[in-house]
Structure 1
Amino acid sequence: MKFNTAIVLFAAQISGGFAAAVSSAAAECGSLGVLEIDLNDLPASVDPSALRKCAGHPLGHTRDLKKTTYTPLTPEEIERAQNVELDARSVIPALSGRAANACWFGASSGCTDGYCWKSCGNNGEWCWTAANGGSGNWLQCNSANQCGTGEACGKGCKKSKSCGCSC
């Protein structure tokens, strides 16, 4: 009987500690939300001990173009950018220097306000990049040459689309 009581008390302590950790993460992350990833669905290359705590990106899904450096354009990117029909959604933010979350048809990667991003789709989609297969810390930078297209798009932010591959 004492053995069963010890198991129940131990289980209660574990669940109470887990609830406190989740509550603490929610308080710390605030509107970014807590990263929710099923550990059973992680690829073997992802280290479960290196997951970030918060789901969303600190800058949301906007980039201030005045605070952005870009990797050099490839000939293919120059051709693609020249063939894009420009509209108010893509031109006005660039000209005014306001934050822009519109589709991107320029350089394949860059650094904005200290964070790396990359192009990730054929229709101008882009994403913030993160370590550990996209589930780790957001990749930080001082210039675009520290960012690349081989990095993973942020994972776990599907609810808000604040960091995944979209426009």
Structure 2
Amino acid sequence: MKSTTTILFALTYHLPSTLAGIAPTAAEECGDLGVMSYTASSLDSNVDPTNIRKCREHPLTLKDGSSPNLQARECWFGDEYGCSKGYCWESCDREKGTWCWTAWNKGHGNWRTCSGKEQCRPSEQSACGKDCKDAKECGCSCH
């Protein structure tokens, strides 16, 4: 019984460091979405630098789950905001049809997720996504 306890203690002690060695890097985890990069001076004063999302691009910009989607984003002339494929969006200019995916932390945080439109009401804590490689992919746009 003592040897079993000793072995379990040893495993418990060494397991976290062993698992830490196999944790994916941000680049591996984000893949084609890219890793978010910013400097403290590039952030607005009301953005929390501890709540910046890890992956730069919106998950739905990936075409077939493997590469950035280069297809045009259709213009939308309907509702002011909504939920599509589990993510929140909002209209920027209803006359032009431009819209954006929304993210927490003034657009720098995690992408807003939803299961229905009511979860996507505009909020002071969220905004159009910021810092994508191509501003048209997360800012206000349509084609």
Please indicate the TM-score interval, normalised by the length of the shorter structure.
Answer: 0.5 to 0.7
Structure 1: gaps (5+ residues): 1-22, 63-98
Q: How does 1:98-109 map to 2 (within 5 A)?
A: 101-109=73-81
Instruction: Report the Cα distance in structure 1 between the residues aligned to 2:51 and 2:101, rounded to whole angstroms.
Output: 18
The alignment partner of 1:126 has SS state of: strand
CA separation in 2, counterparts of 1:140 and 1:60?
15
Report the counterpart of residue 120 of structure 2 in structure 1. Answer: 147
Partner of 1:137: 110
Number of matched pairs: 109
Task: Give the aligned partner of residue 68 of structure 1.
Answer: none
Residue in 2 that maps onto 1:163: 138
CA shift for structure 1 position 149: 3.5
- In terms of fraction of residues, the more helix-rich structure is 1
SS in structure 2 opposite 1:155?
coil
Mapping of residues 36-47 of structure 1, within 5 Å: 36-47=37-48
The residue matched to 1:31 in structure 2 has which SS?
helix
| Equivalent residue, structure 1, for 2:26 | 25
Q: Structure 1 residue 163: deviation in Å? A: 1.9
8 Å contact kept, 2:83–2:120: yes
| d(CA) in 1 for partners of 2:80, 2:133 | 22
* RMSD between aligned residues: 2.3
Q: Equivalents in 1 of 2:53, 2:116: separation in Å?
A: 23
Identity of aligned residues (%): 52
- Unmatched segments (≥5 aa) in structure 2: 1-23, 64-70
CA distance in 2, matches of 1:61, 1:119: 21
CA contact (8 A) 2:33 2:62 kept: no
Mark the CA change 1:160 to 1:31 in structure 2 (over 3 Å): closer, same or farther: farther
